[in-house]
Structure formats: structure tokens, C-alpha cells
Amino acid sequence: MSDLPAERLPFLWGAQYYRAPTPAASCWVQDLDRMQAMGFTDVKLWAQWGWTQRAPDTFYFDDLDTLLDLAGTRGLRVTINTIFDVAPAWFLARHPESRQITADGQVVLSRAVAFRQIGGFPGPCLRHPQGLAERRRFLEATVRHCSGHPALAMWDVWNEPEQSFPSREPKAGNYVCYCRSCQAAFIPFLQARHRDLEALNQRWGRCYQRWEEVLPPLNGETFVDWLDWREFQLDGMTQEARWRLERVRALDPGHPRYLHVVPNTMDVFNAVSGADDFALSDLGPGEGLSSCFAATCNGGPQWMHQLISAGHAQRVYNVESHINFGNTAMHQRLNGLSDVRRDLLPQLGLGITGFLFWQFRSETLGQEGPAWGIVRTDGSPRPVTRAVEALGRALAPHHASLLTCQRATPRIGIWKSRRNELFHYAAHGTLTPLIEAVDGYVQALYWHSLPFRFVNEVELAEAAGAAGPATTVKPAIAGSALADIQLLILPSPYCLGADEARGLEAFLARGGQVLSEAHLGAWNPESGRHAATVPGQGLSARWGLVESDSTATGLLALGQVEQVLGPMSDDVRKAFKEAGASGGQFVPIVLETGSRIWGCERLAILAGSHLEVLGRCAGLPCVGTVAVAAGRVTYVGTRWGQSARKDPEAFAALLRRITAQAGVVPTGTASTRGHIDVLSSGGMARFVVGVAGDADTTIRADLPGTWRGVFSAQHGSLASGLTVEAGTAELFIPA
């Protein structure tokens, strides 16, 4: 939790403003006056390494000094965002060896890009020693210079952590970084991770004679060395965040400090080229370095839940709302109040307590112009200007109350492991199957108002308490991330560690329920080998459940299946023909209830002494359940989450049945596609956020009293139902 008083972590309402050299100084007074008139309370300014440290011992702060003064006289709180990925020209000329190197040996040349117009992007490798020393000098000079200004409110020490934007898209040969600094640091990392060189050889399947022979892998085709290499890079980014936060805390302990991520939804940002959100967030409650957690975020369920889950138990902000995205080739859309409500209110409902828009005045320099603006390039208002002001005025009376509220406790966890993510990329060359598997659950749970959160591999392992032998199960520790979880969902859990297996068993021992897809623990990250029996890590024997065989759904051609298994029933033949008689991505699974769901990409055939069969494909048992300790495992022998795209209603129907069996109750109901969040404090509901899909929806929640819509001015009972207009969201408060 924060080491600062609550008033230092207020509700944020404002915008990013200055990314040198724009907007021009001639705009500053007009724009800051308008921000004040609109009711903004906060403004963010960039301090960029290449713009500020113009020579080794020359620092330029004139622009920030003026802007801090102007903001302060207007009562605007200032966040300074320190930007390190724009190296000064003098540094790059002095240290050409500092540049990042890709897996195929290409130097990542410094450049100016649409969002780093001053050049020097992406800067040196984070492990380059002289680069590290100069980044420290820049940060220390900036903090010392600005920390005493009365308008300063917060520090943002890292804008969207990632290794290298030019290498953002994961693809063979494009990975970074293979420079001398990284290769030298990789050996000590391996020595700390492995007992000795022989232990490394055993795990990697090599016969190195000296540590100096060990080289970083150029691809993920043998999995285990790739996981070590990528986790080395991810941990390096966490170390970079740690020192930045430590220095700001040491130099300016009186102001909150944080970093802000792009949530790792695996689409855009991922473990292959991005950062580990959970590890970065742990620098707050775990080490007391960051005061809160923040992100670039929009209102989609994946983005919001990744942010809230990684920032567990901290104040969480959206410090880059991208509602006004665009560029020269695609000017931004015309956003009105309904659009702004639809984007921001769902975030509010999940506990995000502040917003900064990217950005106030539309860009003029480069490809991001003339978009992104709350106001036009000339400073005049556009429809979104009035919409943002209206939303801000409506929320302003509730800031203090919103800061004290919490959303309903999530009773469902979705496991999301960086090791499993890296394994899937190495296996498929893409993260799309895993993204689709996770998103199937996210969308179904969100639109049925079943509160959930992501649980990462560390949190799952911690549920087992102290480490012990694989056969030892200890009670889940109180206060762990799984303490309130009743149902844990494991999408495509191919890579599972021994510590996570112990966490699963501890969770089941206290009565938790697990919903697992196919191939649970089929690859063992400790041994670096595929498991002989699945579920792996010894779970198969202890649970009385085994995958007796498995195949790809694309190989389940109707004629070939009947040759091997014999004739199918007419219903099954019909379903197979609908799915594609020559084999395809989807195959029909008939449940014991008579209803049908779909398998996707994989089909695992189940057996076991304790197995109760719940569903079959072509007569083969592939869905089943087993009682384990005080809990229960439901095993769906396919990538079931991906099948949600094939038949969302069938997917949601079975998922609701499983959640109900686990005792999970939705926060409310909607007459059509909709979502309900309840924010409470002191044991009382204070706010309700209703979200509508493509049609008007009536939301209901079991709450007493009369409620009114802040924007619709409806009055009535939520128990009887209130309406949310199609494509928007509403905030309800007690009347």
C-alpha cells in the first residue's frame, strides 16, 4: 500500500499536455485557462532525456518551469512524466555500441517516430552501463530541479514500459536484445537460477563445458532456454523500474511516484516484447516503492481487468485515456457524451479512480497530428470537449466518495501466467490462440456481471503457503490472491510449474473449484520436458484423471474418424458435417444434458478412476469432472475459451452453470447484453454502473431504496429495474 497520506492520492481528472516541442509556448496560457474553466484538476508534462540533457553537463528546464508556474496559478496539479527512450544525440555519438541488437544481428538504429518526435528513439539497451549512468543523472537532475515547486503533485517514472518499440511485434529474428551487455548479464542470471553448469545442461539438453560457451537462444523451438532468456529480459525491465522508483523516493519522498503500463492483454503488449505488469505492480505493495499503479487504458473488459488485477490492493489510475486516437491518415472520431460515458464509466465501476486524457490539444508535429485532442489544433472546442467537461462536472461532487469505494469482491480467477504465455508463443509463433482462449472467458463473465480478476503464476504458487514436496499440500495462506476465489479458470494451461500445481491442490483442499482446459501441465518448466502423463506435475495420479490420448481437431475428418471409431450416430454425423466434415478448427461436443458445445483446435480424450463424464465428441469422453479433496475439477479437453466465438450462447450457458455450481452470484442482471458493477463503502452500496451493449437494457440489482441516473435523471428501484441506453453507460446514485 502507499506510504503517503490519502490526500496525496486524489481523484485525477485532467489531460496530458506538453510533449516538447509541442504545443508551442504561444498556446500555453489559452490551454491552461481552458483546462481550469473545464474543471480539470490535473495536467501531465513530459521531461524528456534528449530534450533536457542537451550536453553531458547541460540541463534545460525553462519550459517546465514556465508550465509549472502557469499550472500552479490556475490550481492545476502537475504530474511530471520522465521519458528515457529518447537518448541525446551526444550520447549516441559517444556510445554507438549502446544500441540494441536483434536476434538476427541487426542494430536497432535510433530514429524519430510519430510519438517521439525529438529523435533518439528507442534509446540504448537498458543494460548498457554508460546509458544507465546517464539516465540516472537525467532523473536525479529533473527531480532535484522540480521537486520543490508547489504545483508538482506526482512523478510518473516510466511511460508504457517495453523493451523496444521497433521490435514490438513478436516475430523470428526481431527479438531484442542481444548486445554485449545483455549477453554478459545473462550468465550470472543463469548461474543464480541453476545450481551449476551440469544442472543447466540437464535442463536445456546441452553439453556445455564452460559457462562462456552458453549463448542466448535465437528462437523458442526448444522452449526451456527461451523461457530463461525471456524471463531474464522481463526481470531486467523490473530492475529498471525499481531503480527509477528508488531514486525518486530517495530524492523526493513527499510526492507520489508510479509508472504506467499498457496492460498486458497479450494483444499489442505481451511477455515476448513487453513487460510483466504484475512484477512491476509488486514494486508498490511488495517493496513500498510505487505509491499507486496506472496504465494507458480504454474501456474494454480485457484492458480494465488486466490493469485492476495487476494493481491489486493499490489505488489505480488511467493516466492515458486513448478515446481520441487517430493520425494523419485517420482523423479521430467525433466523440459525444454517450461515447465518453461508455468508455470511462465502466472503468470507474471496476475501481479506477482517475483519468488523464491523451491529450489536450491535437498534435501538429508528425503522423499523430491532427488527432488525439480534447480541443482542436487551434485550441477551439470540438464535441468531445463539451462531453468531457459535462462528464467531469457530473463526477466532481462524487470524487471523495468514489475514492473510498470498492467493487464487489471477485470470486472468479482467470489464471494468466507469463511462463505459459512465453511457451505458447514459442509453440505457435503467435499468441492468437491463447488470446482468444482468455478472451472467451473474459467476455462471457463480464457481460454476465460475474466479477473476476486475473491471477498470475506467482499468486497461484503463493496459495500453497511455504514450499514443500510436490506431494505435500498445505492450506492456502490467508490474504493470498486466491483467498476469496471460489472458481479458478485455467485457459490453455500447457506450461504449469510444480509450485503452481501445489497452489492448485491447496486451493482445492479448501473447497475451491477449478475449470481447466486441455493439456494441464503437459510441459514441465522445471525439467524442460513434455510430461509423460497429463495432467502433469503428478496431478493425473492424485486426481484420478488422465488424458488417454489427444489430437488436433483439424485432423478429425469425418470419414477417417468413422474408420477408426466406427459409425457415428445421425446427430453426431450432422454436427460434424456442420463443423466441417473434412476436419476444421471446431468440433461438436455433446453434453450429457443433450446440449452441444464446441471443441476448438485440440481434443483430449479423458479417462480415470474418478472421472464423471459430462460430454463426448464422436462418442469419446472429452469433458468430465472429478472431486479432489474438498473441491472439484471440471476438465474440458479442448481449448474451450476459443470456441466462444463459434457459439457464444452455448459457451455462456455452460460457463454460467459451472459458476453457479461454484456458488458465484452475479452483481445483477440485464435484460439484454449488459453489465452491472456495484461500488460500496462502509457496507453500503454507493454507486452502481450499468453498461449496455448494442440495445437498450434493463438492469436489476438486489439493492434497497430509490436510485437515480446521473445522466438520464431516471428515478426508481434497481430491484425492479432501470434502463441504460444502447451503446452507453450510466452511473446510478441513491436518490
Looking at the chain, the domain(s) classified CATH 3.20.20.80 span 6-168+242-402
Burial of 379: CB neighbours in 10 Å, binned 0-12, 13-18, 19+: middle
What pLDDT is attached to residue 341?
Answer: 98
For 255-292, the pLDDT digits (tens) are: 999 999 999 999 889 999 889 999 999 999 889 999 99
- pLDDT surpassing 90 at residue 578: no
What pLDDT is attached to residue 469?
Answer: 37
What pLDDT is attached to residue 168?
Answer: 86
**Residue found under cell 509541442:** 22
pLDDT category, 581, cuts 50, 70, 90?
low
- pLDDT surpassing 50 at residue 720: yes
For 61-78, the pLDDT digits (tens) are: 999 999 999 999 999 999
CATH for 412-548+604-661 is: 3.40.50.880
Fill in the amino acid letter for 564: V
6-168+242-402 CATH fold: TIM Barrel (3.20.20)
For 284-325, the pLDDT digits (tens) are: 988 999 999 999 999 899 999 999 999 988 999 999 999 999
What pLDDT is attached to residue 468?
Answer: 37
Average pLDDT of the residues of the chain: 94
pLDDT category, 6, cuts 50, 70, 90?
low
For 64, the 3-state DSSP assignment is helix
C-alpha cell at 598: 464446441
- pLDDT surpassing 50 at residue 529: yes
What pLDDT is attached to residue 477?
Answer: 45
For 718, the 3-state DSSP assignment is coil
CATH for 669-734 is: 2.60.40
- pLDDT surpassing 50 at residue 200: yes
What pLDDT is attached to residue 618?
Answer: 85
Q: Which residue has the higher pLDDT, 114 or 565?
A: 114
Q: Can you tell me the mean pLDDT for 433-457?
A: 98
Q: Which residues of 252-264 are buried (b: 16+ CB within 10 A; e: fewer)?
A: beebbbbbbbbbb
- pLDDT surpassing 70 at residue 467: no
- pLDDT surpassing 80 at residue 149: yes
**In 207-334, where do the E strands start and end?**
257-261, 293-297, 316-321
Looking at the chain, the domain(s) classified CATH 3.40.50.880 span 412-548+604-661
For 89-112, the pLDDT digits (tens) are: 999 999 999 999 999 999 999 999
What pLDDT is attached to residue 8?
Answer: 81
Burial of 282: CB neighbours in 10 Å, binned 0-12, 13-18, 19+: buried
Looking at the chain, the domain(s) classified CATH 2.60.40 span 669-734
For 418, the 3-state DSSP assignment is helix
- pLDDT surpassing 70 at residue 673: yes
For 274, the 3-state DSSP assignment is coil
What pLDDT is attached to residue 1?
Answer: 42
Fill in the amino acid letter for 367: Q
- pLDDT surpassing 90 at residue 692: yes
The span from the first CA to the last CA of the chain, in angstroms, equals: 34
The pTM of the full predicted model, rounded to 2 decimals, is: 0.96
What pLDDT is attached to residue 579?
Answer: 65
What is the rounded CA–CA span in Å between residue 185 and residue 190?
Answer: 9
What pLDDT is attached to residue 286?
Answer: 84
Whether 431 contacts 425, CB under 8 Å: yes
Helix/strand/coil (H, E, C) string of 299-360? CCHHHHHHHHHHCCCCCEEEEEECCCCCECCECCCCCCHHHHHHHHHHHHHCCEEEEEECCC
Q: Which of 321, 327, 124, 129 is nearest to 243 (CA)?
A: 129
